[in-house]
Amino acid sequence: MRKLKCFIASAFERADVDEVFRKAIIPTLQQLNIVAMRVDKINHNRNIDEKILELIDDCDFCIADLTFARPSVYYEAGRIHGLDKEVIFIAREDHFTPDKDDVNGNKRIHFDLITKNIIGWKSPDRVFKKRLKQRINLIKKPLERQIAVDAQMRDQELNFASHSLQERQSLIINLSKKFILGNKYKNDPERKGLFQFTGIKGKLGNHKLLSIGVFESITMSTLENIRFRMGFDSSSTPPKEHAIILISLKAVNTSLVHKIFPTFRKEPNIKEFTSTNWKDQKNIRLIIVDNIKSEIDFSNRIEFLSV
């Protein structure tokens, strides 16, 4: 498993801040097997602003030293927070109380962060290092668990990609069948057409249909064909609801779908078009699940569908 990476945001060329960095932050991170990243301590040949943004994107969490109230530190901490990453705040202890002689506000913690659980320091002493280590350990285990999960997902994606197109389609079709049967639908072999599998649930006249079609990619002709067939039901008793799930191994261009289904809307993890009255049939739903990365990816995304 890869090492965690910590971005350090602080004032530069301040003797006491640099001492805390060298004698407390660095040793604590090394002890915990975490990579420390402070832009002025990294050899690079980039514009410094570009390098800072690169390190922020690459880090797992941040230690932000608010000492001397540097605007860049507040900006960097805010950007990392906006990326949903943890920020540990530290500051020199005299910054917790206002100083009447500090007219520019350079020796205080600004009001928008004063309520945070900030670790104060006087020097890089044993007490500060202990508190910093405890705080890092608080967030370290969840981050490592997520790294392990991400690595497992990457392995699953590589394994899925190693299969042939036909094998991938077959895997997704089998999972789709399990999804349909798991939702109490019974196989309806008479209804196939474009779909590999269709299930029926409920008593005739109050029944629901669920159809699934798996494709390498969904083209304009596929959508046009679906649009033509959506309003057609050869049975004498139309279903109360018919959900059609189109599964594409490749990503589907939403604007392409809008050309055929103008009211199509994109939802988190899925893309769905809902019609309350399509060619005299009510409650027809078209759902697109695209860009399938692995079997687990597909299973996680369809389990939230209400069918």
Q: What is the pTM of this model?
A: 0.68
Tell me the C-alpha distance between 87 and 138, whole Å.
12
Angle at the Cα of 85 from the Cα atoms of 139 and 269, rounded to 5 degrees: 115
* pLDDT confidence bin for 170, thresholds 50/70/90: very high
- Does pLDDT of 280 surpass 50? no
Tell me the C-alpha distance between 274 and 306, whole Å.
13
Tell me the C-alpha distance between 180 and 186, whole Å.
8
Determine what percent of the chain is predicted with pLDDT higher than 90: 50
Angle at the Cα of 20 from the Cα atoms of 24 and 11, rounded to 5 degrees: 135
Tell me the C-alpha distance between 246 and 42, whole Å.
49
Amino acid at 97: T
Tell me the C-alpha distance between 173 and 169, whole Å.
6
Tell me the C-alpha distance between 124 and 225, whole Å.
70
- Predicted confidence at residue 122, as pLDDT, reads 94
Tell me the C-alpha distance between 99 and 108, whole Å.
8
Residue showing tokens 């320091």 = 121
Domain boundaries, the chain: 4-160, 165-302
Amino acid at 150: D
Beta strands in 202-283 (DSSP E): 208-215, 241-248, 265-267, 270-275
Task: Could you please state the CATH topology (level 3) that the domain comprising 4-160 is classified under.
Answer: Rossmann fold (3.40.50)
* pLDDT confidence bin for 291, thresholds 50/70/90: very high
- Predicted confidence at residue 265, as pLDDT, reads 73
pLDDT in tens, 231-271: 554 555 677 888 888 999 999 888 888 888 887 777 777 77
* pLDDT confidence bin for 227, thresholds 50/70/90: confident
* pLDDT confidence bin for 277, thresholds 50/70/90: very low
pLDDT in tens, 91-125: 999 988 877 776 666 678 887 787 889 999 999 99
Question: Who contacts 103 (Cβ-Cβ below 8 Å, separation ≥6)?
Answer: none
Question: Who contacts 113 (Cβ-Cβ below 8 Å, separation ≥6)?
Answer: 66, 74, 89
With H, G, I as helix, E, B as strand and everything else as coil, classify residue 261.
coil
Residue 150, both tokens: 């991400």
Mean per-residue pLDDT for 171-188?
Answer: 89
Mean per-residue pLDDT for 156-185?
Answer: 92
